[in-house]
Amino acid sequence: MNYLTKNFKETQKLGKKLAKKIKSGKGAAVLGLQGDLGGGKTTFLQGLAKGLGIKEKILSPTFVIMKRFKINIKHFKNFYHIDCYRLNSPKDIEELGIKDIILNPKNIVAIEWSERIKKILPKSAIIIKFVFIDKNKREIVI
């Protein structure tokens, strides 16, 4: 599906909507967010997190690669926000135990810049692409 959002709130809303649609599977529910810097990946995840009942604000992690939030929605217990922007090698993220995290069906895992760790992504991952159109417009493909 293709969406055009005209401000950051619309992008958050889209993320919030997706939160309700995440389904359980064999392993974790994995979302791979790709595309332009400033494209709205973190903004989208702010809405998604809200939809998952997370009160804390989702930020662009500057030094942190991975952050865990507790959730309690359907059978999901953890939301992991991962940002691969500053990742030097996929090994760095493997050291954080990402493989086990992705295998656990209790987890929802959202990965910004997931194109950098393609090999680790499960086939079932939902890929979301962000395109910067102009200052306030973004194209989002889910």
Instruction: Select from 4-12, 60-68, 69-77, 94-102 the region that touches Mg ion (CB under 5 A).
Output: 60-68
Containing H/E element for 33? strand 29-35
Q: Where are the alpha helices (DSSP H) in the chain?
A: 8-21, 41-51, 90-95, 98-103
Number of residues that bind ligand ADP (CB under 6 A): 19
CB of 59 to ligand ADP, least distance (A): 9
**Cβ-contact 129, 141 below 8 angstroms:** yes
Smallest gap from residue 83 Cβ to Mg ion (A): 6
For residues 27 and 30, which CB has a smaller minimum distance to Mg ion in the complex? 30
Using CB under 5 A, which of the segments 1-9, 58-66, 99-107, 122-130 binds Mg ion?
Answer: 58-66
**Least distance (Å) from ligand ADP to the CB of residue 75?**
28
Nearest CA to 24 among 75, 99, 77? 75
Residues 61/49, Cβ–Cβ less than 8 Å: no
Nearest to 83 by CA among 98, 70, 71, 73: 98
The single residue among 3, 50, 60, 121 that binds ligand ADP, judged by CB under 6 A, is 60
34 binds ligand ADP per the rule CB under 6 A: no
Helix (H) or strand (E) holding 112: strand 107-112
From candidates 43, 48, 80, 107, binder to ligand ADP by CB under 6 A: 43
Interacting residues with ligand ADP (CB under 6 A): 5-8, 10-11, 37-43, 60, 112, 130, 136-138
